[in-house]
């Protein structure tokens, strides 16, 4: 029997929106500075789209995660050293996703009416540091943008990207109370931190944040589900000569300790995603040695399965960001799928556990209705 894949982490944006992305550079737009729509995603995932011939896995759909729009915690446009922002660009992204999820395309955005079934969940940006009042107001505006009830039911959580924020943001009382508010509403929070480029202090602060949230909420049903992105972006570029060269390295040991601390809370989940962006770049032409890639990743992914277990780890592609290090849109998504298959084999997962990682964990964590 074929196993359905739920891609728990991908991004979409039409060409008309690229200048509203916080990371976009008009002088050097790079490979991501172009439209990345459902049309391009279908091309990337063509090997696992449903077909007449049986195959081990097939793409059931995706969870969209916000793409880091120019924004500010304050609703009204606020002047910063890099521009004037507010909630407008983030809400425009919601409207774009609502058109995909409702099957109501407009010319030039790169999706069709039949694509609505691929969109299983929407994780928009939200002003979590503003606390419950700001979140409540913002989510009311999200509700207005999505319009249809069936689309609103696909809004399963929020993300406020922390990897580029200064120390202390996660520990502010308003942020902590905002996470508790999300828990009461049944909404998840995607935690995006970066151990390699941002620093291991981000993981340490995230652990303090989780402790402050989980240990001050009595009702288990109100505890927010936190979905951790990309293994916390560990330093996969450490000099590799053997497994021991990694497992004894101070950076790895510090990362491992924080991952163990995060995993102790039963409503935290981990995404098996984002690694192609952290590894040395792959060629677009020569196929990589999947066995060697898995061998290099094993210290980190082994820790993930040892701590979270296969019941709290979910597959994600991080498309189209994965294309930058993975070899381009023609090959990258399928390469990561093959790497993941061997990771699951290497870590001894049985058929039931593999089905969990490929899709069931994402459906459970985000409370997706299939």
The domain covering 3-366 belongs, at the CATH homologous superfamily level, to Metal-dependent hydrolases (3.20.20.140)
pLDDT at 49: 83
pLDDT at 85: 86
Q: How far is CA 106 from CA 15, 83, 95, in A?
A: 13, 29, 12
* Strand-pair category, 83-85 with 78-80: antiparallel
Cα gap 26→186, rounded to integer Å: 39
pLDDT along the chain (370 residues), means of 10: 93 97 91 96 92 77 98 79 80 98 97 97 98 98 97 98 98 98 98 98 98 94 96 96 96 98 98 95 94 97 98 98 95 97 98 97 96
pLDDT at 269: 98
């Amino acid at each position: 029997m074929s196993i359905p894949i739920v891609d728990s982490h991908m991004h979409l944006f039409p060409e008309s929106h690229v200048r509203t992305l916080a990371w976009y550079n008009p002088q050097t737009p790079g490979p991501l500075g172009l439209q990345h729509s459902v049309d391009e995603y279908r091309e990337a995932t063509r090997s696992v789209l449903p077909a007449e011939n049986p195959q081990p896995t097939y793409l059931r759909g995706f969870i969209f995660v916000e793409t880091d729009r120019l924004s500010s915690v304050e609703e009204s446009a606020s002047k910063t050293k890099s521009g004037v922002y507010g909630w407008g660009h983030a809400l425009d992204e919601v409207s774009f996703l609502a058109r995909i999820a409702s099957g109501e395309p407009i010319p030039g955005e790169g999706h069709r009416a039949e694509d609505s079934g691929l969109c299983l969940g929407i994780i928009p940006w939200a002003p979590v540091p503003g606390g419950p009042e700001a979140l409540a107001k913002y989510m009311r505006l999200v509700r207005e943008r999505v319009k249809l009830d069936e689309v609103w039911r696909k809004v399963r959580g929020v993300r406020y990207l922390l990897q580029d924020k200064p120390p202390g943001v996660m520990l502010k009382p308003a942020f902590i109370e905002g996470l508790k508010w999300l828990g009461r509403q049944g909404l998840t929070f995607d935690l995006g931190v970066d151990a390699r480029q941002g620093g291991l202090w981000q993981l340490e602060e995230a652990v303090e944040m989780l402790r402050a949230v989980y240990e001050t909420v009595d009702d288990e049903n109100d505890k927010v589900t936190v979905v951790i992105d990309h293994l916390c972006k560990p330093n996969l570029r450490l000099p590799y000569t053997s497994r021991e060269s990694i497992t004894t390295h101070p950076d790895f040991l510090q990362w491992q300790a924080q991952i163990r601390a995060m995993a102790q809370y039963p409503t935290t989940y981990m995404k098996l995603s984002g690694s192609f962006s952290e590894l040395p770049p792959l060629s677009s032409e020569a196929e990589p040695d999947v066995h060697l890639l898995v061998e290099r990743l094993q210290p980190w992914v082994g820790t993930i399965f040892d701590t979270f277990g296969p019941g709290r780890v979910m597959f994600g592609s991080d498309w189209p960001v994965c294309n930058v290090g993975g070899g381009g849109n023609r090959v990258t998504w399928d390469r990561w799928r093959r790497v993941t298959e061997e990771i699951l084999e290497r870590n001894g997962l049985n058929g039931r556990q593999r089905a969990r990682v490929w899709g069931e964990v994402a459906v459970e964590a985000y409370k997706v209705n299939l």
